[in-house]
Amino acid sequence: MRTEFLPFSPPLIGPEEVDEVIDTLRSGWITTGPKTRLFEEEFSAYLSAPGALALNSCTAGLHTALVALGIGPGDEVITTPMTFTASVNVIEHVGARPVLADVEPDTLNVNPAKVAAVVSPRTRAILPVHFAGHPADLDPLRELARAEGLQLIEDAAHSIPAKYKGAFVGSANTPAAFSFYATKNLTTGEGGMLTGDPEFLDRARVVSLHGMSRDAWKRYDKGGTWRYDVVLPGFKYNMTDIQASLGIWQLRKLQTFQARRRKVVAAYNRAFCSCEELELPVERPEVEHAWHLYVLRLNPASLSIGRDQFIEELTARNIGTSVHFIPVHLHPYYRDKYGFQPDQFPVAYRNYQRMLSLPLNPRLTDADVADVIQAVIDVTQQFRR
């Protein structure tokens, strides 16, 4: 058994990121400026996206997208219960009503058929979440959005660099919001990116910085002007050049990071595939999984303990884990406001009760991976029915 605790998902920061941050600090330009623009350009080029807007979080990206698309009071936005609460909070922030649709049993992404069943005259948008880095089934969602005249806004917090049918998530003209939180595949500490059509991003850029017609760089760089107009009551969502300095190198290393993630996933799959007590995550043939999370699901009929005790046993063996996620409809705010019942979304609810996420990050050594495998198998064997 390990003698030191293995954290669930620490970042991997190298000397290149450190040097870039120091260069930024010495440059005198530490807020939104040239390195933020460079990060936007390199990010959109990496995805072959039509454009990119760097922000201070994925939450900011989703909120900005909703505002820029004019979604507000009286509108409904359909999303998934199997997500972090930020995906739904932003719908509340604009005064719209979140409508939940249950998930598919294999990927735990929102089920397009369930989405179609809850479209109403008030529906304005569909907000799928690419759970754990596995792309949602976008084609039927896109077709539904076209047929019903709805906006499609992708929560791609887990999804750099996932692909759907050969194209990167975030490469379409429709909005997609990415997260660069400390645990993500690419990190800027805190931060995010919104991709989409350039005309949409022009509106979103104004929304994201106080509703001003000019951003800070244009006002204070050589040739800029102090004059600006406030055209709407916007927000303070811009990314700084300090954050972008991290992101530039994290993006350049992403292919290497992903190769390591895939090796860890392959090792987990080989070790656990013959354990009937465990259900492994899937990767459909038409996608490339980003492998932000490795989500195991326990088979309750084969074990004498539940998920919570399984996690406690792993913690006792110095293995860090997490649960992604507590479904939205179980949280008191949403449960009480909308009268949700636990089994109202049965696929999400039942899978939540038996899921846990194992360590998955490029810092893991082969010895770390072996320790995780040993601990999981040890708990499984000890509590096998």
For residue 218, pLDDT beyond 90: no
Q: Quickly tell me which residue has 């529906």 as its tokens.
A: 123
Name residue 152's beta-bridge partners. 126
Question: What gap in Å lies between CA 77 and CA 74, rounded to an integer?
Answer: 10
Residue 217, amino acid: W
pLDDT band for position 356 (cuts 50, 70, 90): very high
User: What tens digit of pLDDT does each residue of 177-206 get?
Assistant: 999 999 999 999 999 999 999 999 999 999
The continuous run of DSSP H or E covering 207 comes out as helix 198-208
Q: Please state the three-class secondary structure of 117-181 as a single string.
A: HCCCCCEEEEECECHHHCCCCHHHHHHHHHHHCCEECEECCCCCCCEECCEECCCCCCCEEEECE
Q: Max alpha carbon distance in the chain (Å)?
A: 73
Q: Which domains does the chain have, with CATH numbers?
A: 15-252 (3.40.640.10), 254-321+359-382 (3.90.1150.10)
Q: Which residue in 114, 184, 222, 337 is the catalytic one?
A: 184
The pLDDT tens digits of the residues spanning 139-154 come to: 999 999 999 999 999 9
The answer to whether 358 touches 268, Cβ cutoff 8 Å, is yes
Question: Which pLDDT band holds residue 378 (cuts at 50, 70, 90)?
Answer: very high
Say what angle helices 366-382 and 254-272 make with each other, to 10 degrees: 30
Q: What is the mean pLDDT of the chain?
A: 97
- Distance CA(160)–CA(188), nearest Å, equals 13
What is the pLDDT, as a whole number, of residue 214? 66
The length of the chain is 385
The torsion angles phi and psi of 107, rounded to 5 degrees, stand at: -90, -20
Confidence of residue 163 (pLDDT cuts 50, 70, 90): very high
pLDDT band at 334 (very low <50, low <70, confident <90, very high): very high
**184 carries an active-site annotation:** yes
Span 302-315, average pLDDT? 98
Residue 34, preceding bond cis, omega within 30 degrees? no
Model confidence, pTM:
0.97
Q: Which two tokens stand for residue 123?
A: 């529906």
Segment 35-54 shows an average pLDDT of: 98
pLDDT in tens, 257-286: 999 999 999 999 999 999 999 999 999 999
- Look at residue 309 and tell me whether its pLDDT is greater than 60: yes
Q: What three-state secondary structure class fits 356? A: strand
Reply yes or no on whether the pLDDT at 33 is more than 80. yes
Residue 278: how many other CB atoms lie within 10 Å: 21
Euclidean distance between CA atoms 323 and 7, whole angstroms: 14
**Can you give the pLDDT at residue 224?**
73
pLDDT value of residue 225: 76
